[in-house]
Amino acid sequence: ICSPAVFMLAKLLFNSLLILVMSLVSFLLFILFLGNPTTNILEFAGIVVLGAWSLSLVFTFLAAIAAKAHQNAAIMAVMGFPIIIPQLLLLMRISKAAFAPMLTIPVNTILLLLALDGLIILLSVVLFPFLWKE
């Protein structure tokens, strides 16, 4: 019905939107029950959106790869750990700036995170058709 690349892009988009909605609801509930953690609320909300999008891309890509394996939970854990660490480190650097008293936007770090996201999308579109054939 559709090509593997289109299927993978649709899967990435759906999971990104799902995680985005879940993250924003969690963020609003966090603020409601525990109070505002920072004075830069819009910047922190942007970090939540960026982090949710990044994590959903990585784990959707890994789930597509692991779906063809027999022990997909083990594959997800083994492959996911080294792939997710750079993104978590970048997200921690960005969130540290949102909690600072003076807002300094780490543009280079944000661009690096967006480049990693673009790389994951590109790898998904290129590699998924090979998995689809088998």
Predicted structure pTM score: 0.85
Each as own residue / partner, the long-range contacts of residues 90-96 (CB below 8 Å, 24 or more positions apart, any chain) are 90/116, 91/47, 91/50, 91/51, 91/54, 94/47, 94/50, 95/44, 95/47, 95/51
pLDDT at 44: 85
Spell out the domain ranges in the chain.
Answer: 4-133
pLDDT attached to residue 13? 94
User: What is the pLDDT, as a whole number, of residue 49?
Assistant: 93
pLDDT given for residue 11 in this prediction: 92
Residue 44 makes CB contacts below 8 A (sequence gap 6+) with 37, 38, 95, 98, 99
Going residue by residue through the chain, which has 134 residues, state the pLDDT in tens, using 9 for 90 and above. Answer: 788 889 889 999 999 999 999 999 999 999 999 888 787 788 888 889 999 999 999 999 888 888 777 777 778 888 888 889 999 999 999 888 887 777 777 889 999 999 999 999 999 889 888 877 76
